[in-house]
Amino acid sequence: MSTFFDIVASAGLWAAVLRIATPLIFGTLGALLSERSGVLNLGIEGIMTFGAMAGWLAVFNGADLWTGMLVAALSGALFGLVHAAMTVTLGLSQHVTGLGITLFASSLSYYIFRLTVPLASTPPTVTPFQPISVPGLSDLPFVGPALFTQTLPTYLSIVIALLLAYVVYRTPLGLALRMSGENPHAAEAQGVDPVRVRYGAIMAGSALMAMGGAFLTLSAFNSFFPTMVQGRGWICIALVVFASWRPGRALFGALLFAFFDAFQLRLQTVLGNVPYQIFLMMPYILSIAALAVMARRARVPQALMQPYRRGER
């Protein structure tokens, strides 16, 4: 028992929680934004992969790190535009379109990467974001090294989560977003254009997803490999349900999954006689249990996955 307490009381654990949670925060907020407007985006896994590649490739070719993040966001928004055109304008299946984008974006990422680096036995590296020490806070015992020695994209993800929570529930834009996901015909009657709202939400959400992928290559690691997203996109889809489509809960859910993941990594070093596959399963098993409890109380946006046609009811 003392071993478990020592792990939990370690500042390194909580620093790792924030690092592991950052791509999940970006991805979950992106998926939440899209679903709040009424459109499920299962292209998230491929969009995150392409964002990781696009951001890394931009920096590898001489751009600065923030330009790399911007390039990733723009590439994600472009895939969001494709998804919106197929699901909002054409009314095609959101499931099939999203999965198609995941397959296409993932394959295109690997193809472009191999065109750029055809013969490298090991992936080339870039200089990633460095941890920033917050003056006056980084020196605090325990809290300082745990919370205030992160890279700037980590702080950005938390700021975006708080900002999105404010926008969704405290602004006319957020009301239009929620109306488009609940009852787009009622939104249309009030002068809101649900098509425009859905397009904007899908593109902005896809940009956030791609930024989550870019965090992996430009902050968490320093190179790109095609399988590096490792299912994080699907975790983000589950976290949206866990969060009941609320940005604040989405932030908490990402941190909770990251805690399970960081905890099992440290537990492996302590309980070395237990097969490591057991530890790898732990975050997912505990997340499924938490999802089963929270999903029973979740209120799904009423128009989620329902095509919208002007003038039709």
Q: In this structure, which long-range contacts are made by residues 264-272, counting pairs with CB atoms below 8 Å and at least 24 apart in sequence?
A: 265/16, 266/7, 266/10, 266/13, 267/7, 270/3, 270/7
Mean pLDDT across the chain? 89
Query: Residue 120: its pLDDT value, please?
Result: 66
Task: Mention every residue, 6+ apart, whose C-beta is less than 8 A from residue 115.
Answer: none
Query: Residue 135: its pLDDT value, please?
Result: 80
With a cut of 60, say whether residue 1 has pLDDT above it.
Answer: no
pLDDT-derived band of residue 133, with 50, 70 and 90 as boundaries? confident
Residue 200, phi-psi category: left (phi > 0), alpha (psi -120 to 50), beta (remainder)? alpha
* 19-117+150-294, CATH topology level: ABC transporter involved in vitamin B12 uptake, BtuC (1.10.3470)
CA–CA separation, 264 and 259 (whole Å): 9
Query: Residue 313: its pLDDT value, please?
Result: 58
Query: Residue 229: its pLDDT value, please?
Result: 92
Query: Residue 274: its pLDDT value, please?
Result: 67
152: nearest Cα among 219, 236, 216: 219
Residue 256 class from Cβ within 10 Å (0-12 exposed, 13-18 middle, 19+ buried)?
Answer: buried
Q: Where are the alpha helices (DSSP H) in the chain?
A: 2-8, 11-36, 44-60, 65-84, 94-116, 143-147, 152-170, 172-182, 184-189, 194-215, 232-242, 247-270, 276-295
pLDDT-derived band of residue 35, with 50, 70 and 90 as boundaries? very high
Number of neighbouring beta carbons within 10 Å of residue 91:
12
Query: Residue 268: its pLDDT value, please?
Result: 74
With a cut of 80, say whether residue 33 has pLDDT above it.
Answer: yes
With a cut of 80, say whether residue 41 has pLDDT above it.
Answer: yes
Query: Residue 69: its pLDDT value, please?
Result: 97
Number of neighbouring beta carbons within 10 Å of residue 196:
12
22: nearest Cα among 127, 151, 195: 151
Query: Residue 143: its pLDDT value, please?
Result: 82
Supply the DSSP symbol for 309. Answer: -
With a cut of 80, say whether residue 8 has pLDDT above it.
Answer: no
Residue 312 class from Cβ within 10 Å (0-12 exposed, 13-18 middle, 19+ buried)?
Answer: exposed
176-205 pLDDT, tens per residue? 999 999 999 999 988 899 999 999 999 999
The owner of tokens 């859905």 is: 198
Highest mean pLDDT among 11-15, 45-49, 218-222, 280-284: 45-49
51-80 pLDDT, tens per residue? 999 999 999 999 999 999 999 999 999 999
239-296 pLDDT, tens per residue? 999 898 999 999 999 998 899 888 887 777 776 666 767 767 777 787 778 777 776 7
Token pair of 164, please?
A: 């999105």
Query: Residue 116: its pLDDT value, please?
Result: 87
Contact between residue 151 and residue 129 where contact means Cβ atoms under 8 Å apart: yes
Higher-scoring residue by pLDDT: 8, 209 = 209
Task: Mention every residue, 6+ apart, whose C-beta is less than 8 A from residue 105.
Answer: 43, 46, 47, 49, 50, 79
Query: Residue 272: its pLDDT value, please?
Result: 64
pTM for the whole structure: 0.93
